[in-house]
Amino acid sequence: MTDLATEPAEIEAAPAEPSRWRTGLEWAVLYVLSIAGALVISAGLVAVTGNSWQKVFGALLDGAFLAEGRWGNTLTVAAPLLLVALGMVVGVKAGLFNIGQEGQLLMGAMAMAFVGTKLAGPGPVLLVLGLVMGVVAGGAYAGIAGVMKYRRNVPEVISTLLLVFIAYQIVGYAITTDWFLRDTDPDRPSRAVTSAIMPEGIRLPVIRMFGNEFPIGFVIAVILAFVVAFVLVRTVWGFRFRLLGSNPKVAQKMGIAANRTGGMALFISGGFAGLAGAIMLAGGSSGFRLTTGFATNIGWQGLLVALVAGSNALASIVVAILFAALRTGSGFLASTGVDRKIVDVVQALLVLALLIPPAVMFVRRRRKALAMADEEIDLANEEER
Amino acid sequence: MGDLFSALADVFTSPTMYSSAVRLGGFLAFAAMGELVAEKAGTINISVEGSLLAGAFTGAVGYTIADGAGISGAGAVWFGLAAGVFGGVLVALIQANMSHRLTADQFVVGLTANVLVLGLAGYLSANMDLVTHRAEVIEIPLLVDIPLLGPAFFGQTWPTYLLYPLIPLTWWLLYKTRWGLELRAVGENPQAADVSGIDVNKRRRQAIYYMGILAGLGGAFLVVGQVGTYDTGAVGGRGFIAIAAVYFGGWRLGGVLLGVFVFGLADAFRLAVPVLGYQLNAQFLAALPYVITLVVMFFITKAYRQPMALSRPFIRGLR
């Protein structure tokens, strides 16, 4: 038998922790290796199709940052990505895996389009109303999944996913229906079916600086990132979300109602996606018009942003800019003759690469712990003998 | 509303409706059966979409290679189907090893795998000249004469009939073999399975490989056995319907297949309605399969019990 009176200090000293310096090095090596692997595979793919990867890299860099006015474009794309990611962060912290942002984003954009093109009033008021309605629409759409989860135990992963495909059709219906959002103006520029154009007064202003047009949307998104980071760590609601996410049983014992807190988290999660959609529309996506292809995968990619950032609101800012850079950079790929879909491949490979190091470290730590536990059991058995 | 009901009555008495339902739902049946096995072992395998598309792409590539090598007709189709299995398994390898060896989150891995396959298939196919043809229609004598349903099930292209032996095979594997028993145990109570000496994560990986085989076959079947041409948008989110079908069917093989057939019917209904001259909202009809699933899930999930450890990772020593 082990002696119960043993000093606790001795027990703590027993598992020989590798030095912090060494663990840090292991992390660094793992990250460098896996990211390098992803980049080498991408370069290989470009080479296989008979193009030079140096040119592709140069074009991406030009398109994302270096060429005139591209910083502004990159940040314009980064804003909705970051907003979607923030919603995802809140959801994940509360243990909810909402993957229907693409649909919630469309709902938000639809609300903004309705306010912008159907209601009359002073521009700034309508703009703010549109943003608020965007949040409500996105949140309510995610709320359907919440009701299904807490009433009937339907997993939110499946319901939010299916709701995306219904959202596509709802938008399709809205922009082909005269009384709803369809542009009935006979002088409209193209024959494609879209919503009416957002009036001048209801567009998000831009800041003109250094030859770039910096969008207000990005400023809003960054401010919200700090708000989310603060709320999650420093407020009661944040604590409730995190407790519900890390241990629902303890949360229940603490008097946290899973349905109300979880439903709230889902609403916020969808609300951010809805806000992203509203900001995209008021910020000029698809020429200030709602179209069937309006969302352009921003919802799907935004959720990957949050996951790559390890569900950290502030890290999401950097990752969102990186993802946005890949998107805007791909606009310059045409000159190199490489299909822009290569960017999706690079993005996915990078995400997979970033998943590997934490997973490897976790598995190794578990193995060591288990081996140590086994040793202790063996020791105890021997002593007994 | 009156229009809807008379359209329903008209459409459901025409044999072509059932034929196109089987045609539209056939490739999903492969994928849904695979997904069922993966979920029975405890994984919600979102990358079934990626496996389908990978199967479709490699299937088309396989057919093109065989065609270029002078093999034509049934031989090339077989070659394409085999290549499709290869593609499906590749995606399954990523999903299985990332989520059940490295214990990365299964949804993250699945979503990323889907993005990866969509990008790869789009990128590579833009640089390729894919030549594919549809497999021959073979009518099975006598059975094809069954009224209403005969032509639907027994008057299709020949790769469709690969589905029929796979149904009892999947049932036998799941419910009559030791492997299947262990697999289901792993999906219900991994801790208990682990204690009794089953390698939990290995069984889960194997279940995902089975999904990869079937979904890859389904994807290749879609291209070389059904449509005849490759298009990167061909799968376009319908892999998620395979997942929905598993929920729809309450994790029972018969129910899952019924679910696939119902989705096929909904799809066929959408295509049949304008042909018969009825005016129904196109968007409503396109959203119908998804709406049906959500409604059914709302009413059914309490009646059927999902595998207890569904979507929960297993790490020994942690609950």
Per-residue model confidence as pLDDT tens digits over A121-133: 787 888 888 899 9
The stretches of chain B forming alpha helices (DSSP H) are: 2-12, 15-40, 48-68, 74-100, 106-126, 150-154, 163-176, 178-188, 190-195, 200-220, 239-248, 253-275, 282-300
- H or E, element range at A313: helix A313-330
Q: Which residues, 6+ apart, have CB-to-CB distance to B60 below 8 Å?
A: B80, B125, B130, B132, B220, B223, B224, B230
What is the structure's pLDDT at B183?
93
Per-residue model confidence as pLDDT tens digits over B151-178: 777 777 888 888 889 999 999 999 999 9
**d(C-alpha B3, C-alpha B276), whole Å:** 12
B244 to A162: CB separation less than 8 angstroms, yes or no: yes
Stretch 88-107 of chain B: residues touching chain A, C-beta under 8 Å: 94, 98, 101-105, 107
A166 to B291: CB separation less than 8 angstroms, yes or no: yes
Beta bridge partners of B157: B137
Confidence of residue A225 (pLDDT cuts 50, 70, 90): very high
Residue A219 predicted with pLDDT over 50: yes
Task: Give mean pLDDT, residues A80-107.
Answer: 92
Burial of B10 from C-beta contacts in 10 A (0-12 / 13-18 / 19+): middle
- Could you tell me if B56 and B223 are in contact, meaning their C-beta atoms sit under 8 angstroms apart? yes
CA distances for B316 relative to A14, A31, A371, B198, angstroms:
22, 26, 12, 12
What is the structure's pLDDT at A190?
66
Residue A164 lies in a domain: yes
- Could you tell me if A347 and A304 are in contact, meaning their C-beta atoms sit under 8 angstroms apart? yes
Does B237 reach chain A within 8 Å, measured CB to CB?
yes
**d(C-alpha A274, C-alpha A134), whole Å:** 5
The residue among A130, A141, A155 whose CA lies nearest residue A87 is A141
Reported as half-sphere exposure (CB side, CA atoms, 13 A), residue A87 has a value of 34
Cα torsion through A23, A27, A29, A31, rounded to 10: 180
Residue of A345, A347, A361, A366 to mutate, testing the B interface (most B Cβ within 10 Å of its Cβ)? A345
Residues of A in contact with B244 (CB under 8 A): 158, 162
Domain residues for the domain of A223 are 52-337
Mean pLDDT of chain A: 84
Confidence of residue A272 (pLDDT cuts 50, 70, 90): very high
The residue among A299, A310, A323 whose CA lies nearest residue A358 is A310
B112 to A99: CB separation less than 8 angstroms, yes or no: no
What is the structure's pLDDT at A278?
92
Task: Give mean pLDDT, residues A101-118.
Answer: 90
B237 to A165: CB separation less than 8 angstroms, yes or no: yes
Does A249 reach chain B within 8 Å, measured CB to CB?
no
Burial of B264 from C-beta contacts in 10 A (0-12 / 13-18 / 19+): buried
Q: Greater confidence, A261 or B156?
A: A261
Residues of A in contact with B247 (CB under 8 A): 158
Confidence of residue A16 (pLDDT cuts 50, 70, 90): low
Residue A380 lies in a domain: no
What is the structure's pLDDT at A337?
74
Residues of A in contact with B113 (CB under 8 A): 348, 352
Token pair for A301: 């990619």
3-state secondary structure labels for all residues of A113-141: HHHHHHCCCCHHHHHHHHHHHHHHHHHHH
Distance from CA of A339 to the nearest CA of B (A): 6
Residues of B in contact with A166 (CB under 8 A): 287, 290-291, 294
Mean pLDDT of chain B: 85
Does B244 reach chain A within 8 Å, measured CB to CB?
yes
**d(C-alpha A183, C-alpha A187), whole Å:** 10
Residue A61 lies in a domain: yes
Per-residue model confidence as pLDDT tens digits over A43-68: 888 888 777 777 788 888 877 877 77
Q: Which residues, 6+ apart, have CB-to-CB distance to A320 below 8 Å?
A: A78, A81, A82, A85, A221, A302, A305
What is the structure's pLDDT at A1?
45
Residue A10 predicted with pLDDT over 70: no
Nearest by CB: B115 against A157, A170, A344: A344
Stretch 44-63 of chain B: residues touching chain A, C-beta under 8 Å: 44, 46
Q: What does R_g of chain B's alpha carbons equal in angstroms? A: 20
What is the structure's pLDDT at A191?
64
Q: Greater confidence, A261 or B282?
A: A261
What is the structure's pLDDT at B303?
62
What is the structure's pLDDT at A216?
85
Token pair for B271: 């295509």
Q: What pTM, to 2 d.p., does this model score?
A: 0.87
Q: Which residues of chain B have pLDDT under 50?
A: none
B317 to A373: CB separation less than 8 angstroms, yes or no: yes
Beta bridge partners of B315: B318
**d(C-alpha A126, C-alpha A137), whole Å:** 16
Per-residue model confidence as pLDDT tens digits over A185-195: 766 666 667 77
Beta bridge partners of A206: A215
B2-300 domain in CATH 1.10.10? no
Which sign, positive or negative, has the C-alpha torsion B104, A89, A277, A216?
Answer: negative
Distance from CA of B181 to the nearest CA of A (A): 25
A153 to B302: CB separation less than 8 angstroms, yes or no: yes
B286 to A169: CB separation less than 8 angstroms, yes or no: yes
- Could you tell me if A286 and A218 are in contact, meaning their C-beta atoms sit under 8 angstroms apart? no
Token pair for B247: 């929920």
What end-to-end distance do the CA atoms of chain A give, in Å? Answer: 10
Residue A346 lies in a domain: no
ipTM > 0.90, yes or no: no
Domain count, chain A: 1
Q: Which residues, 6+ apart, have CB-to-CB distance to B152 below 8 Å?
A: B15, B18, B19, B21, B22
* DSSP one-letter code for A101: H
A148 to B294: CB separation less than 8 angstroms, yes or no: yes
**Alpha carbon A301 to its chain's center:** 6
Residues of B in contact with A304 (CB under 8 A): 111-112, 115
The residue among A332, A295, A272, A362 whose CA lies nearest residue A27 is A362
A366 to B112: CB separation less than 8 angstroms, yes or no: no
Q: Which residue of A has its CA nearest to B291?
A: A166
CATH number of A195's domain:
1.10.3470
